[in-house]
Amino acid sequence: MVDDVLAKSFTLTGADYDRYRPGFPPAAADVVMPHSVRTALDLGAGTGKFTELLGGRAERVVAVEPSEPMLEILRSKLPGVEAHLGSAERIPMESEVADVVTVAQAFHWFDEEAACAEIARVLTPGGTLGLIWNRFDPTCAWDRAAHRIAHPAVGDADVTTSTVTHELPGFDFVRHEQIHSTERIRRDAYLGRWSTVSTFLVADEAARAEMFAAIEAVLDSDPETRDHDEYDLPIVTDVFVYRRA
C-alpha cells in the first residue's frame, strides 16, 4: 500500500533533491537499452537524474513528473527533453509510441495496477520497461545504520527488495542486474541527502532534528567515518527489465 503522505512529500523539494541525491551509473541505462531507440519515456523523472542518460540512446526523450518544482529543474538542465506534468497512473502521452519506459527511484510510489496498465498503453508492442533503484550496500555498516534511523519501518530491508516482484500485470520479466559503484561524498552532503528523504520531509522539526542527531552519532562512532570530512560510500543499483506482454 502506497503511503500518500510520504509519496506527496517530494512535491516539497526540488533544488535540494537535485543537489544531494546521487545520479545513476550509465551501465544501468545500458542494461535497459542495449541499443538506441526512437522514443524513451522517463516516468517519475524527478529532476532528471536518470533522464540525462537517455539523450544519447533515444531520438526522442519524454519526461513525466508530478512535482512542478522538480520539473522546473529538469527543464532547465535538459532543454531538449519533452517535459510534462503528470503521473504514472495518468500518463500525458499517446498510445503505443514509447519503445522504452524507465522508472528510476519512483516505482514504489505508484499504484502498481493502474501504473502498469498505463505504461503498457504507451509502450509499443513488445516494448521495454526498466525499473531502477539506488540503494545502500549491505556491507557498509554506517550507511546501513543510517537507513535504519531514517526508515525504521523497513529496518535492514530496503525499498527495492521489499516492493519489487518479478511479476507485474501486463509484463514479462526479462532480467535483474546489480551494478556496484562507490561515491566520494562529504559529510555535509551526506547529511543533506537525508534531508531529501520522505521521512525527513514529512517529520516535524523536533523529529527531524532527532534523526539528524542519531545519524551524526553513527558517523562520529564508526571507524570508517569518525574524524573524516569525506567518505567512500558504496552504492548498489538494481535494474529490473520487463517486456510488454
pLDDT of residue 176: 96
Q: What are phi and psi of 89, to 5 degrees?
A: -80, -20
Note the pTM of the prediction, 2 decimals: 0.88
Please choose, from the candidates 238, 184, 196, the residue with its C-alpha nearest in 3D space to the C-alpha of residue 31: 238
pLDDT of residue 6: 41
Identify the structural domains of the chain with CATH numbers, from first to last: 4-136+157-182+234-244 (3.40.50.150)
Q: Tell me: the pLDDT tens digits for 161-198? A: 545 667 999 999 999 999 999 999 999 999 999 999 88
Q: Residue 54 — pLDDT band, cuts 50, 70, 90?
A: very high
d(CA 29, CA 109): 21
**DSSP character at residue 148:** H
Q: Residue 49 — pLDDT band, cuts 50, 70, 90?
A: very high
pLDDT at 17 over 60: yes
Q: Tell me: the pLDDT tens digits for 190-206? A: 999 999 988 888 889 99
The answer to whether residues 115 and 89 touch, using CB atoms and an 8 Å cutoff, is: yes
Q: Tell me: the pLDDT tens digits for 84-119? A: 999 999 999 999 999 999 999 999 999 999 999 999
For residue 224, give the amino acid letter: E
pLDDT at 214 over 50: yes
Q: Tell me: the pLDDT tens digits for 117-144? A: 999 999 999 999 999 999 999 999 999 9
